[in-house]
């Protein structure tokens, strides 16, 4: 290899790293710091003239990184049901904003006449920093505010509605299934007794009710589990995730990529099983000859996690897991 060739390679590598750094800085907005931007966008294996969908638009971080790699003939569809996310819509002819829950992926892709034509789908299932940091939304136990927790504040019931109207048995199911809390029944019983005295309307009200369960050593983990359970129930997250995943099969073209970032074991198990087997139970199907039948090929058999540098920069990324699969046939 000639000296000139070596210099050219080094310059190319420096230019690529500079580009990555610039994209990361551009996409880290006050609304939300996107997680594993480079890893997830590289996982999409983008064709410059391809068709892509960012199912969790939020602050637009991942979308901007995708647009960076698209030519004029490319197209990106960004989904989000939160009205606050609309302030981040880029002024770009290649971008189409879909004001909807990603569970309706198939319907909107059919409307835009791209079913079976999509080259890649990205979903970052984490709650944005904007939601946690906005007191009035009720997503965080670190500040007092209305117990709302709706991703779409224009419809649906709130976390306060759940706490004040669900039966004791239904509340116990929510805390056990979505919060993985062993004391779910005792917690549900305590909430029912407390709401009989005063309505539980704010995060402060709920924290007061939860005091008998919170010890200093495990307080944050317990509260995080309670708030996670309520958020999942309010937004019907597990059912919406399953619907979305099912819809990726007819929407993606053969060879199209599905890239998903998860943040807790419940959603990660669903995504992992679906990518490996095409179902949510993880049941392997075989043909007459014993060959495994699956709609996807795993691109990364081992899960990808954020590098230490990213976790230090954005502690909320520490539980993230990235999975990539490619549609077969």
Q: What pLDDT does 33 receive?
A: 81
Residues 206 and 69 in one domain: no
In a domain, 150, yes or no: no
Q: Say yes or no: 86 and 207 in one domain.
A: no
Of 138, 92, 90, 96, which Cα lies nearest the Cα of 118? 96
Question: What are the tens digits of pLDDT across the range 125-181?
Answer: 977 655 555 666 777 887 788 999 998 888 889 999 999 999 999 999 999 999 999
Domain assignment present for 323: yes
pLDDT score recorded for residue 4: 52
| Confidence at 17, pLDDT banded by 50, 70, 90 | very low
Angle at 236 between CA 56 and CA 79, to 5 degrees: 20
Q: Is residue 138 part of a domain?
A: no
Q: What is the CATH number for 104?
A: 3.40.50.150
- Clarify whether residues 113 and 40 are in a common domain: yes
- List of residues 6+ apart from 147 with CB closer than 8 A: 138, 158, 159, 160, 163, 200, 201, 202, 203, 205, 206, 230
pLDDT > 50? residue 328: yes
State whether 172 and 55 are in the same domain. no
- pLDDT recorded at residue 84: 81
What's 180's domain CATH number?
1.10.150.170
Instruction: Indicate the residue among 235, 260, 285 that finishes a domain.
Output: 235
Considering the domain architecture, whether residues 165 and 186 belong to the same structural domain is answered as: yes
Half-sphere exposure of 228 (CA within 13 A, CB side): 20
Say yes or no: 44 and 122 in one domain: yes
Question: Average pLDDT of the chain?
Answer: 88
Residue 282 lies in a domain: yes
Structural domain includes residue 21: no
Q: Are residues 87 and 219 in the same domain?
A: no
Asked whether residue 203 falls in the same domain as residue 248, the answer is no
- Position with higher pLDDT, 232 vs 329: 232
| Confidence (pLDDT) at 130 | 55
Structure confidence by residue, pLDDT tens digits, 188-203: 999 999 999 999 999 9
Model pLDDT, residue 29 = 52
- 266: in domain: yes
| pLDDT tens digits for range 21-31 | 444 444 455 56
Does residue 28 lie in a domain region?
no
Do 195 and 61 share a structural domain? Answer: no
**Considering Cα of 88, then 94, then 100, then 104, what sign does the dihedral take?**
negative
Which range, of 105-119, 120-134, 194-208, averages the lowest pLDDT? Answer: 120-134
Q: Which of 205, 235, 265 is the endpoint of a domain?
A: 235
Q: Are residue 220 and residue 273 in the same domain, yes or no? A: no
Do 122 and 258 lie in one domain? The reply is: yes
* CB proximity list for 322: less than 8 A, separation 6 or greater: 36, 39, 40, 43, 259, 260, 261, 300, 303, 304, 305
* Cα separation, 320 vs 313, whole angstroms: 14
Whether the predicted pLDDT of 106 surpasses 80 = yes
> Given pLDDT bands bounded at 50, 70 and 90, which one contains residue 54?
very high
Examine residue 317 and state whether it is found in any structural domain, yes or no: yes
Residue linked to tokens 């990106």: 76
Do 223 and 249 sit in the same domain of this protein? no
Residue 262: give the domain boundaries.
35-129+238-327
Within 10 A of 215 (CB to CB), how many other CB atoms are there? 8
Q: pTM of the prediction?
A: 0.85
- Number of domains the chain is built from: 2
Examine the fold and report which residue of 174, 202, 235 is the final residue of a domain before the chain moves on: 235
């Amino acid at each position: 290899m000639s000296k000139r060739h070596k210099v050219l390679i080094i310059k190319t590598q420096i230019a690529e790293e500079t580009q990555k750094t610039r994209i990361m800085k551009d996409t880290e907005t006050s609304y939300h710091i996107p997680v594993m931007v480079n890893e997830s966008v590289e996982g999409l294996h983008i064709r410059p003239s391809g068709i892509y969908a960012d199912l969790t638009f939020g602050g637009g971080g991942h979308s901007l990184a995708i647009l960076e790699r698209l030519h004029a003939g490319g197209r990106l569809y960004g989904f989000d049901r939160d009205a606050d996310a609309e302030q981040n819509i880029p002024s770009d002819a290649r971008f189409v904003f879909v004001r909807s829950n990603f569970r309706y992926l198939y319907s909107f892709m059919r409307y835009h006449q791209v079913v079976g034509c999509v080259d890649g789908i990205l979903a970052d299932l984490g709650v944005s920093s904007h939601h946690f940091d906005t007191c009035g939304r009720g997503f965080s136990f670190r500040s007092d505010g209305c117990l709302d927790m709706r991703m779409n504040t224009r419809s649906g019931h709130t976390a306060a509605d759940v706490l004040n109207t669900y039966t004791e048995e239904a509340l116990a199911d929510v805390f056990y299934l979505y919060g993985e809390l062993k004391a779910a029944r005792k917690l549900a019983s305590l909430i029912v007794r407390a709401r009989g005295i005063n309505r539980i309307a704010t995060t402060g009200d709920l924290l007061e009710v939860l005091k008998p369960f919170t010890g200093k050593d495990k307080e944050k983990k317990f509260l995080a589990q309670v708030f996670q359970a309520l958020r999942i129930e309010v937004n019907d997250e597990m059912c919406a995730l399953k619907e979305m995943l099912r819809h990726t099969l007819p929407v993606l073209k053969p060879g199209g990529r599905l890239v998903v970032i998860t943040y807790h074991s419940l959603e990660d198990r669903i995504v992992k099983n679906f990518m490996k087997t095409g179902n949510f139970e993880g049941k392997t199907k075989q043909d007459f000859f014993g060959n495994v039948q699956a709609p996807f090929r795993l691109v990364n058999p081992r899960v990808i996690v954020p590098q230490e540098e990213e976790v230090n920069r954005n502690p909320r990324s520490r539980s993230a897991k990235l999975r990539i699969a490619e549609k077969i046939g």
